[in-house]
Amino acid sequence: MVKELKNEGDVERLVIGATVLGTGGGGDPKEGYKALSGVLKEKEKPIKIADLESLPSDGVIVVPYYVGSIAPGLKQKKPVVIKDPISEAFEILEKELGKKVNAVVASEMGGSNTSIALSIGARRDLPAIDGDLLGRAAPELHQCTVLIFGYSMAPSALVTETGDVVVVKNAYIDDYEAIARYISVLGGGFVAVVDTPLTKEMAENAVVKGTMSLAYKLGDEILSAKARGERGNITAERVADLLRGWVVFEGIVSKYSWRDERGFLRGEAELRGKGDYAGRKLRSWIMNEHIMVWINDESLVMPPDIFTLLSSDGNPVTNTDLKEGMEVIAVAAPSPKVWRTERGLELFGPKHFGFNLEYIPVEELVSRRGIA
């Protein structure tokens, strides 16, 4: 596993791999790279990543992240009252808990939100756990493993740049999602959140382990492939192998439409096949991340399973950067097993997003479509 991020090359590998796992969302990788590189320069020492087992049994772990739409150009121009809202939220939650935090864990995998957890932890000389609470990126606060195990995401602290400070002592999850989403809109597009205090015992159940190490391996593979001058489709095969998945499509983005709606980027992308996929059409339904995917109008990937796009040169593509005319390669892979439980599918299955479909694992769907 990766134990430390020592230099900008390490940071680049982690951010690239986290962007792959971000499934089109998870925040802007440029911001993630900037945050982690800045911490390396500021602290002049490595960013620590720890196995959960190495933490003290009485330790406290919290989750720092941002909530908001990933739609570009939506941040409103409002006066900045709090320059570092994530640090402010962190300090408020520590006061609410009445104890110091021992480590942080990422809410999800993605170019920005994974990096935020690492950077805020490093600034406070705290390690980040080698894992996260999702195993990919997802649009809503509902998609958090702690809810599968009946743990609370409260107490929490929510802070905006514009000066809103909210402490949530307890909340029903639907209300909590609505509270955080609404404050993000009021705050000019996003809100910094620190929540989900966990004991080590709780974290043993809830954390999807090893995802930081997986992200690093993915980033290293992509950068190594570039250095070898390999084509994007070869890189995609290597990425698929690391994810224990499949390359499921190669083509050109023929249509992409999106809108910002209640704090989410919602849209659809259509791809026209090329090469082995000529004559086929792939369609993705997007809610910040790729959620439902069809090939020739037949289901190919259902949530919570993973669907991610790479550019023709092997770089991961976020839905904010996706454009018509772009050549892309699609990779699909199984989700972590915890999301395939009955409760996991309630929170992250097709019916949760309004699709009247029973969940079918991606390995069965790619086999039915003659891909694997």
Specify the pLDDT at position 190: 87
- The whole model's pTM is what? 0.93
Residue 72 confidence (pLDDT): 62
Residues 6+ apart with CB under 8 A from 197: 60, 61, 62, 93, 97, 101, 155
- What is the per-residue pLDDT for 289? 97
Query: Which tens digit of pLDDT belongs to each residue from 254-265?
Result: 999 998 887 788
Q: Do 131 and 52 touch, CB atoms closer than 8 A?
A: yes
- Assigned token pair, 340: 């395939």
Q: What is the CA 364 to chain-centroid distance, rounded?
A: 24
Walk across the sheet containing 298-301 and list its strands: 298-301, 289-295, 281-287, 264-273, 246-261, 327-333, 306-311
Considering the chain, what percentage of its residues have pLDDT values greater than 70? 97
Q: Taking Cα atoms as reference points, which of 57, 62, 54, 86 lies closest to residue 152?
A: 62
Q: How far apart are CA 85 and CA 243, in angstroms?
A: 34
Q: What is the pLDDT of residue 260?
A: 82
Burial (CB count <10 Å: 0-12, 13-18, 19+), residue 125:
exposed
pLDDT for position 198: 97
Residues in the chain with pLDDT < 70? 1-2, 69-77, 372
Predicted confidence at residue 74, as pLDDT, reads 52
What single-letter amino acid sits at 192? A
Residues 333-372 pLDDT 10s: 999 999 999 999 999 999 999 999 999 999 999 999 998 6
**How far is the C-alpha of 350 from the C-alpha of 327, rounded, in Å?**
28
Q: What is the pLDDT of residue 232?
A: 87
Q: Annotate 10-46 with b (16+ C-beta within 10 A) or e (fewer).
A: bbbbbbbbbbbbbbbbbbbbebbbbbbbebbeeeeee
Pairing state of beta strands 246-261 and 103-106? unpaired
